């Protein structure tokens, strides 16, 4: 049952039971969800989007080197990725293990080869640099454990 009301300006308004209104809202939301899924599937088919397994996300969130995680996900060997990025295999290995940082231009080439953004791999680099800065400044009690830390060189 619906009721139509006409405003003084001539606009027509429909009054309907709340259950019918909720059903209409649900139908619109369902149609939007179906359209989003179809768009995502089309992107996958065109190679524009990835479906990233939870295990990969867990590794990235767990702090693993994202270059290594993405390289393994994309099924590149160290040698193949180094060749694709135009760098030495040893240099890539050093970046993955944290012994070298990698210049932005190098990281950009690695990201391009992995088909990810620079941000996807540079976050780890930034976090590593911050960790090193904190390690160099450590002195006094560790707030997490309460244990005393030694200054570097005073061990």
pTM exceeds cut of 0.75: no
- The 10s digit of each residue's pLDDT in 124-144 is 555 555 555 555 555 444 444
Tell me: the pLDDT tens digits for 79-129?
Answer: 999 999 999 999 999 999 989 988 999 999 999 999 999 999 986 555 555
Give domain limits for the chain.
Answer: 3-46, 54-134
Q: What percent of the chain has pLDDT over 70?
A: 78
Interacting residues of 7 by C-beta distance below 8 A, sequence separation 6+: 13
Q: What is the CATH number that goes with domain 54-134? A: 1.10.260.40
Torsions phi, psi of 62, nearest 5? -80, -5
């Amino acid at each position: 049952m619906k009721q139509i009301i006409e405003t003084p300006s001539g606009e027509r308004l429909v009054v309907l039971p709340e259950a019918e209104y909720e059903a209409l809202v649900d139908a619109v939301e369902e149609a939007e969800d179906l359209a989003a899924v179809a768009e995502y599937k089309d992107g996958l088919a065109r190679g524009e989007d990835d479906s990233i397994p939870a295990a990969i996300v867990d590794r990235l969130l767990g702090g693993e080197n994202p270059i290594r995680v993405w390289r393994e996900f994309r099924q590149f060997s160290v040698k193949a990725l180094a060749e694709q990025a135009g760098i030495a295999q040893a240099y890539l290995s050093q970046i993955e293990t944290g012994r070298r940082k990698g210049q932005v231009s190098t990281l950009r080439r690695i990201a391009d080869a992995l088909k990810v953004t620079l941000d996807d791999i540079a976050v780890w680099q930034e976090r590593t640099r911050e960790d090193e800065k904190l390690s160099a400044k450590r002195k006094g009690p560790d707030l997490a454990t309460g244990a005393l830390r030694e200054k570097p060189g005073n061990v």
